[in-house]
Amino acid sequence: MSAPERIHLEKIDECRYRIPRSGKMRVDGIIYADANLIRNIHEDESPRQVANVAHLPGILGHSLAMPDIHWGYGFPIGGVAAFDWEEGVVSPGGVGYDINCGTRVIRTNLMTGDLRPKIRELVQALFQNIPSGVGSKGTLRLSAPELRRVLREGSTWAVENGYGTPEDLERTEDGGRLEGADPSAISERALERGRPQLGTLGSGNHFLEVGYVEEIYDPEVARIFGLVKDQVTVFIHSGSRGLGYQVCDDFLKKMGERVRHLDLDLPDRQLACDYVQSQTAQDYLAAMAAAANYAWTNRQMLMHWTREVFEKVLQMSPKDLGMHLIYDVCHNIAKRETHIVEGKRKEVCVHRKGATRAFGMGHSALPEIYRNVGQPVLIPGDMGRYSYILVGTQGAMEQTFGSTCHGAGRLQSRTQAKRSSRGRPLHRELEDRGIYVMAASRGTLAEEAPEAYKDVSEVVEVVHRAGISRKVAKLRPWGVIKG
């Protein structure tokens, strides 16, 4: 059987390529990329997934993809699509299995010189005190009623139980609590998987990274974010663990059944969906919101324990350490938002899968401290190079439903990365570059080798030049723990 014909791409400008509407596509596809990135993007056939998403009912604007795009389940990872709230659909594949996988960055009062004598000890202590790895279980033992509170209340539950401060909630997307969460929409299997895993990092590309500010691009915005050169930072990347995975799996099956009864001609069965106003879709959104709240609680607890480890290892008070949350963003979510579409305000269901919200200045959803500059956008790279902090822009509001990239994006599959890293002393290679890494398994380290990812600086440069977010600071990794 011959391979399907490659998707035709038209260059719009130095940062964007169009997939022209054809066949049963309802809108064009737009991929944000430069000439170098688009070559790799074309190789993994993810543009076909961008075109497939354009077939879905009620899609508005364009089927969008960020420069870190790669092949995913149904939707590409790096995909953004907005659907009419009244007439469009919601698709679990447009959110992904790790619901509200996301990142947060903490700034500190420490400079690199303050931490240099203690960096190894700190990384070891973080590894010992932050549960990580496949199937990892936390120290918390939640009753069923308490877990339901977590699912309804999100980070609010964590702060009320001593895992953080009210300021943390102000600096978390949606205050760390998505409205409409309903634990009763979640299966017993999902609840069972989630109960022992709260407060754990997980495996794969999830990490906790101690780094420092290497470069400032926008001094004024950096000042408002509380960032200065050589300042120590902490990056946390985790999600909803087994609970979120199970919610996605459960509803893909339910919607797969629904598609058979609806008059939907889908180009890929992985795009299983239902109309937003249907009971199945409303149940999914309620379960997804609960899983999102679990993920925010998870990251909040990981941050709390990170603060405690810093205090113990460095023998410093919370006040002297000054470990303040800059922001927390999710990058696997579907949300009801209001956007301007063809000159009119419209209620939409925005799917961001491997894409970050990037609201511009003045948006009412932003905390007051950031409203005059825009939303902090947190972009992790790989463990051997760098990460970025950007700021949301009006350009994102106009072009991408307030969205931008979420990271470097994979170049190699996990299997390919393992194969190419076989026999290499990755620990030593990274240590020779001044980066101390501890991982739950050698396999994870190989899967997450720096060359398995695109260069995040190329990805960031595209979104910066396209005007859908703007560079503020570059962070360099120093100590990393991986699941």
The residues that are catalytic are 406
How does strand 59-70 pair with strand 29-32? Answer: parallel
Longest dimension (CA), the chain: 66
> How would you classify residue 204: left for phi > 0, otherwise alpha for psi between -120 and 50, otherwise beta?
left
How does strand 102-111 pair with strand 77-84? Answer: unpaired
**What is the rounded end-to-end Cα distance, in angstroms, of the chain?**
40
Per residue in 288-298, is it b (16+ CB within 10 Å) or e — as a string? Answer: bbbbbbbbbbb
Q: Which two structure tokens, joined as six digits, stand for 441?
A: 């398994």
Nearest partner of 401 among 320, 443, 325, 339, judged by Cα: 339
Q: To 10 degrees, the CA torsion angle through 308, 313, 317, 321?
A: -90
Helical axes 35-43 vs 456-466, angle rounded to 10°: 120
Per residue in 66-93, is it b (16+ CB within 10 Å) or e — as a string? Answer: bbbbbbbbbbbbbbbbbbbbeebbbbbb
Residue 241 Cα distances to 199, 254, 304, 405, angstroms: 10, 21, 18, 22
Q: Are 448 and 416 in contact (CB under 8 A)?
A: no
Q: What is the DSSP string of 375-430?
A: -EEEE---TTS-EEEEE--HHHHHHSSSEE--S--BSS-HHHHHHHHTT--HHHHH
Q: Are 108 and 316 in contact (CB under 8 A)?
A: no
Alpha-carbon gap, residue 457 to 450, rounded angstroms? 13
* CA pseudo-torsion sign 125, 126, 127, 130: positive
Per residue in 245-265, is it b (16+ CB within 10 Å) or e — as a string? Answer: bbbbebbbebbeebbeeeebe
Alpha-carbon gap, residue 81 to 403, rounded angstroms? 10
φ, ψ dihedrals at 82, nearest 5°: -115, 135
Entry field: residues in the chain:
483
Alpha-carbon gap, residue 220 to 246, rounded angstroms? 43
Q: Are 269 and 255 in contact (CB under 8 A)?
A: no
